[in-house]
Amino acid sequence: MTRIIPPGGIIGIIGSGQLGRMTALAAATAGYRTHIFSPHPESPAAQVSNHITVAEYTDKQALQRFAEAVDVVTFEFENIPDSSVHFLEKFTLVRPGWKVLHIAQNRLREKGFCKEIGGPVTQFAPVRDEASLREGFRNIGRKKLVLKTAEMGYDGKGQAIVESEAAALEAWEKFGRAECILEEFVPFVKEISVIVARGMDGKTEIFPIGENTHVHGVLDTSIVPASIAPATERKAKEVALKMAEELHIVGLLAVEFFVLADGGVMFNEIAPRPHNSGHWTMDGCVTSQFEQFVRAVCGLPLGSVARKANIRMKNLLGSDVEHWREILNDPNAKLHLYGKREARAGRKMGHVNYVE
């Protein structure tokens, strides 16, 4: 469907975390109202939205009422049943569609999709039982591998580096014998992410590439512009754009890559929504990723992605948020807090963009 949602319309957002919060704020600036669907009544997105439906993601009656109360539905994270998003398509527009979510929420399907379109993918094998784990370990034929849960893993959770079948079996047991992916360890020199915006009309814009540093599997900083060779930038953008087009994205697609010593890139994973590594755009780009997301899902023309400044984005995890006063004393720091009450270790409480 090609319907445009004009300002004044209601955007339904499944999920109520900080990405939903920042999307709702961008939507309000553009004259839209937002309606959150989440099991959690007190959440970052609910604090700034016009309406909230509090229900489980599998509650079909609540989902139908939600769909009938909004003009378009999108989602702010992947850990929701794709069947629920598919169900919503019976009643309203869903952008991007449920099939994108189906691929993005499973690492085996992600890797398989990238391989299918000719993207750069490391060797991998599915793990569904002990026999397939042992077979995968033998077939890949490397000493250092990574075992990851196929679903529900984020911010470094559900991952283990393994160097023997015994270690892989032990990790698999710790993961509750869940479906996993076993893949060759990639000896990368840096990590980057490409965020592609694609509109209802198929037009695209690619944000400047960010260079990312992770600590304990969680994004710590993103620096823009990334210090990569022009050939590396071209290849990463080429692959990300092809993925967005093949998936028929209407919205955003973030694609994470490992950069190799020779300047090549290796696919890591995708996210079909705003991404932590794109938070720098709020203060360093003509159009932020959140405004662009709103524009795309509502069928509006995409905005300029021109970079206005060099930016270093720093996540505020747990007790880091207690330094808010010190941060505000820096005239070049732009502080963004998410309204979370409890600062637990490793929890994303906010971020700060240092404009350089």
* pLDDT for res 347: 93
Nearest to 246 by CA among 117, 118, 121, 109: 117
For residues 333 and 218, membership in a common domain is answered with: yes
pLDDT at 355 over 80: yes
Does position 1 have pLDDT exceeding 60, yes or no? Answer: no
Count of domains forming the chain? 3
Residue 141 pLDDT: 79
Sign of the alpha-carbon torsion through 328, 293, 42, 347: negative
Backbone phi, then psi, for 33, in 5-degree steps?
-105, 155
274 in the same domain as 159: no
What's the pLDDT band for 177 if we cut at 50, 70, 90?
very high
Domain termination site, one of 184, 207, 237: 184
Domain span at residue 160 reads 123-184
Confirm if 13 and 20 have CB atoms less than 8 A apart: yes
Same domain, residue pair 265 and 347: yes
pLDDT at 154 over 70: no
> In terms of DSSP bridges, do strands 311-317 and 265-271 run parallel, antiparallel, or are they unpaired?
unpaired
Record the pTM: 0.95
Percent residues over pLDDT 70 in the chain: 98
Return the pLDDT at 197. Answer: 98
Question: Is the pLDDT score of 143 beyond 90?
Answer: no
Tens-digit pLDDT profile for residues 298-340: 999 999 999 999 999 999 999 999 999 999 999 999 999 999 9
pLDDT at 155 over 70: no
Are 210 and 171 within one domain?
Answer: no
Q: What is the 3-state secondary structure (H, E, C) of the chain?
A: CCCCCCCCCEEEEECCCHHHHHHHHHHHHCCCEEEEEECCCCCCCHHHCCEEEECCCCCHHHHHHHHHCCCEEEECCCCCCHHHHHHHCCCCEECCCHHHHHHHCCHHHHHHHHHHCCCCCCCEEEECCHHHHHHHHHHHCCCCEEEEECCCCCCCCCEEEECCHHHHHHHHHHCCCCCEEEEECCCCCEEEEEEEEECCCCCEEECCCEEEEEECCEEEEEEECCCCCHHHHHHHHHHHHHHHHHCCCCEEEEEEEEECCCCCEEEEEEECCCCHHHCCHHHHECCCHHHHHHHHHCCCCCCCCCECCCEEEEEEEHHHHHHHHHHHCCCCEEEEECCCCCCCCCCEEEEEEEEC
Q: Please check whether residues 268 and 223 belong to one and the same domain.
A: yes
Buried b (16+ CB within 10 A) or exposed e, 289-308: bbbbbbbbbbbbebbebebe
In a domain, 114, yes or no: no
Q: What are the tens digits of pLDDT across the range 257-270?
A: 999 999 999 999 99
Same domain (yes/no): 77, 159: no
CATH code: domain of residue 28 = 3.40.50.20
pLDDT band at 153 (very low <50, low <70, confident <90, very high): low
Same-domain status, 85 and 29: yes
User: Average pLDDT for residues 179-194, to the nearest whole number?
Assistant: 95
Residue 101 inside a domain? The answer is no
The verdict on 214 and 178 lying in the same domain is no
Q: Is 106 part of any domain?
A: no
Same domain, 44 and 88: yes
pLDDT of residue 220 exceeding 70, the answer is yes
Based on the fold, state whether residues 154 and 87 are members of the same structural domain: no
Burial (CB count within 10 angstroms: exposed 0-12, middle 13-18, buried 19+), residue 127: buried
The mean-pLDDT minimum among 4-8, 133-137, 241-245, 284-288 falls in 133-137
CATH number at 169 reads 3.30.1490.20
- Write the CATH number for 293: 3.30.470.20
pLDDT tens string 73-105 = 999 999 899 999 999 999 999 999 999 999 999
Question: Does residue 150 belong to any structural domain of this protein?
Answer: yes
Whether residue 214 is found in the same domain as residue 179: no
Per-residue pLDDT for 156 more than 70? no
Q: What is the pLDDT of residue 2?
A: 63
Where does a domain end: 138, 168, 184? 184
- Same domain assignment for residues 169 and 207: no
